[in-house]
Amino acid sequence: MNTKRLIPAMMAAALVCTSLPMTVQADGAKIVTIGANLTEEQKQSMYQYFGTTADAVDTIEVTNADERKYMEGIASEAQIGTRTYSCSYVEPTTSGGIQVKVGNLTFVTSSMIASTLLTSGVENCNVVAASPMEVSGTGALTGIMMAYEKASGETLSEDQKAAATEELITTGEIADTIGQKDATDLINEVKQEVIKEGLTDEGEIKEAVNNAVKNYNISLTEDQLAKINSLMKNISQYDYDVKALKETLDNLDGKSGGFFSNLWTSVKGFFTGDSNNDGGIINGTNDDILGADAVIDSTLDAVVNNSKEEGGFWDKVTGFFKNLFGGGDDEAENEDTETAGTEDETEDTDDSDGSDDASADDENPDASIDPETGSPVDPETGLPINDADNTDSVSEGSDAVLENQTNGTTDSTVNDAENNDSASDITQ
């Protein structure tokens, strides 16, 4: 039985089973938070940026008083401010970890928000956080946690939400010294060590922090180290899902579940409405609304870039289904033919330059000597090597091989150039 013909039928049957009964996440499970100090026009622009409308989602207005509830005593007055402009769009999911996109936030990044949401107790969701103008974005975390609780019906621990805010502020302050990426990676590495190994002892936590700092070859002040130690001591009190932790950290690292896993998730999501770690609402944003100079970044960027380095996700999808339905058989045969041709050319080339014969002569000196005349002979034809006709024949054969090799190299180079142009068009 041809396995390649059987797989499509099996996948079709699986899809039917998966899609029955068909369930679609309603927009009622998605929440938008709006900064209270925005004008009406700015509020409408944020709905447009999120790719939704006020009628299609529930909305929470976030005030500066809400920010202070979570941030006072952790963030400075300058960081909290007196007005709230940050907005968010939250979509709880059932798996895939946390994916975040931010727009016009200058103090926090998508990775920082994803990591701190994990600390707050959130395990799976898609989030967009943005503002119509550039702001620090510290208030965005407050709105996101409020929106998640309303959308999911789950109440997050007040202490864990405070720990999340502490992590956001600590990471941001360290980023001023070593950069946002290194700061986020450093905090995540220590946090993963603390949670996975169940570290609670102050000395063990301090050692984990010092080891991470050495690994990144960075220099921090005693005050910064103390803040990280205090944060990790706080985080160590809570029970986190290690699997959820790994999923989100893999998202931030650009790691995916593998081609077939991603393909199945995409196909399944099409039938069930569960977008999981494909980004969901993140894919529906309209970046043009924020202007050409808007600062935008997303945790999905890491996965996309990783996919491009591996040859492109949709290129693989196309090739996969082409092979499933037999489209790759001819190509495989052509590849076999080309491989055989290459081997033949290699053998001819070896004959023409005599490198193989030289090796054989070293092992058995009498192999190319006529036992009667004692003269050198061609080991394949048995003719004397100084025979004029044979010499011409060998020369002509060598010239033909050289010409074939040259043409083959040129054709290959042209094909490679054309393929590179095509790949460039895809990735652009």
pLDDT of residue 249: 83
Task: Report the range out of 49-63, 333-347, 352-366 with the highest average pLDDT.
Answer: 49-63
pLDDT of residue 18: 40
- The residue among 146, 235, 153 whose CA lies nearest residue 194 is 235
Task: Report the range out of 19-28, 34-43, 62-71, 345-354 with the highest average pLDDT.
Answer: 34-43
pLDDT of residue 386: 56
Query: Tens digits of per-residue pLDDT, 149-198?
Result: 999 999 999 999 999 999 999 999 999 999 999 999 999 999 999 999 99
Please give the Cα distance from 301 to 272 (Å, whole number). Answer: 25
Look-up: residue for tokens 């550039």? 134
Query: Tens digits of per-residue pLDDT, 312-323?
Result: 554 555 555 555
- The residue among 328, 271, 314 whose CA lies nearest residue 7 is 328
- The residue among 276, 295, 337 whose CA lies nearest residue 91 is 276
Reply yes or no on whether the pLDDT at 428 is more than 80: no
Strand-pair partners of 99 = 126
Comparison of pLDDT for 50 and 24, the residue scoring more: 50
Look-up: residue for tokens 């002892």? 201
Span 386-412, average pLDDT:
47
